[in-house]
Chains A and B, each alone.
Chain A
Amino acid sequence: MEPFDLFSMREAYNRQQIMLCFNGPISRSLIEEIGNALRNYLEADHAHPSAAMDVFSVYIEMTQNIRHYAAQKGWQEQEAAATVVIARDEAGRYVVSAGNMVDAADGAGLLAKVESLAGLDKAQLKAIYKEQLRKPRDGSASTGAGLGLIDIARKASEPLLASMRPLNQDRAFISLRAVI
């Protein structure tokens, strides 16, 4: 096996202004621990308390959505894997990205949903958020019942970006990106 070139990994992370990244199975406690680190970084970075809360909130909704999805599919803990990157863009805005494996059909559904949200302004997003909040829960009462994605869109300063790459016949890897 080729040794890891940690130096060039570090160079790439620095060049892309990546504050924090993670790849692998993500547990409930790991979400909390990474979240804690994220909060500390944001504070050290002198992020405004409101901006820091938005970044943290988008990170939580994305990662918990991934966990809820895997649980709903009845997948094992190992399959509840996520790739998470929190970075800053050229303009200094925070960018939260997360990706995970999905059934291809579900991935297509998510892409369509992200696209439909992209056409809405803040007032329209608020209206569908409130509508979703009022909908009775279906099945388990544990999740945010479809509020997460709308909430992420409301906190983003530009439309969310989603993309999908096929992994095999049935499964794909989906990526979601929010600029705060």
Chain B
Amino acid sequence: MSDFSIPRSQSTPAIQGKWSEGVLSMQGDSYPENSYELFHQVFEWVERFLQDAGRPLTLELHLLYLNTSSIKAMMDIFDLLEAAHHAGQPVAVNWHYDKRNERVADLAEEFKEDCTFPFAIVGF
């Protein structure tokens, strides 16, 4: 199917979806006023991948600060992964964070609490 890539802006992360590799990556801060504009295309890509690709999907996240509307949008994406996991599809999240900022780990930890698929929080 298709790859997609969104460049980073002041208030939005860089995002890359690689269909053939089964990897979705995000780097940076996310605090747009309207997170739906940004995340609906990510949501749709993940939804399509889980339906059509027939391969494992891994999220490689280097996200830092998320405003609450981005948190809500990420939760929707994790819910898709959770449903796929329950349907027996291999999915995983690796959330990378700088150990000097434990807030990022706290944020990742709160998402992880609601997920039963493999979810690693990796300090560097």
A residues contacting B by CB (< 8 A) are 28, 31-32, 35-36, 49-50, 53-54, 56-57, 60-61, 64, 67-68, 130, 133, 137, 140-145, 147-148, 151
Known: A28-B33, A32-B10, A57-B65. A147 touches B102 (CB 8 A): no
In the bound complex, do residue B36 and residue A142 qualify as a contact, i.e. CB atoms below 8 Å apart?
yes
In the bound complex, do residue B101 and residue A49 qualify as a contact, i.e. CB atoms below 8 Å apart?
yes
B68 within 8 A of A: yes
Which B6-36 residues have C-beta < 8 A from chain A?
10-11, 31, 33-36
Size band of the B side of the interface? 20 to 34
Give the one of B10, B98, B103 with max A CB within 10 A.
Answer: B103
In the bound complex, do residue B72 and residue A49 qualify as a contact, i.e. CB atoms below 8 Å apart?
no
Output the least CB separation between B73 and chain A (Å).
8
Known: A53-B101, A53-B103, A60-B67. A144 touches B72 (CB 8 A): yes
Q: C-beta contact mask, B79-104 vs A, less than 8 Å → 1, else 0?
A: 00000000000000000001011111
B121 within 8 A of A: no
Q: Which residues of A contact B75 (CB under 8 A)?
A: 133
In the bound complex, do residue B101 and residue A145 qualify as a contact, i.e. CB atoms below 8 Å apart?
no
In the bound complex, do residue A133 and residue B36 qualify as a contact, i.e. CB atoms below 8 Å apart?
no
Known: A56-B65, A133-B71, A133-B75. A50 touches B103 (CB 8 A): yes
Q: Is the interface of A mostly helix, strand, loop or mixed?
A: helix
B69 within 8 A of A: yes
CA distance A57 to B29 in the complex (A): 11
In the bound complex, do residue B11 and residue A32 qualify as a contact, i.e. CB atoms below 8 Å apart?
yes
Q: Which residues of A contact B68 (CB under 8 A)?
A: 61, 144-145, 147-148, 151
CA distance A37 to B100 in the complex (A): 21
Pick the contact of B67 from A49, A54, A61, A140 — CB < 8 Å?
A61
In the bound complex, do residue B72 and residue A57 qualify as a contact, i.e. CB atoms below 8 Å apart?
no
In the bound complex, do residue A141 and residue B36 qualify as a contact, i.e. CB atoms below 8 Å apart?
yes
Output the least CB separation between A150 and chain B (Å).
8
> Looking across the interface, which residue of chain A has its beta carbon closest to that of B104?
A53
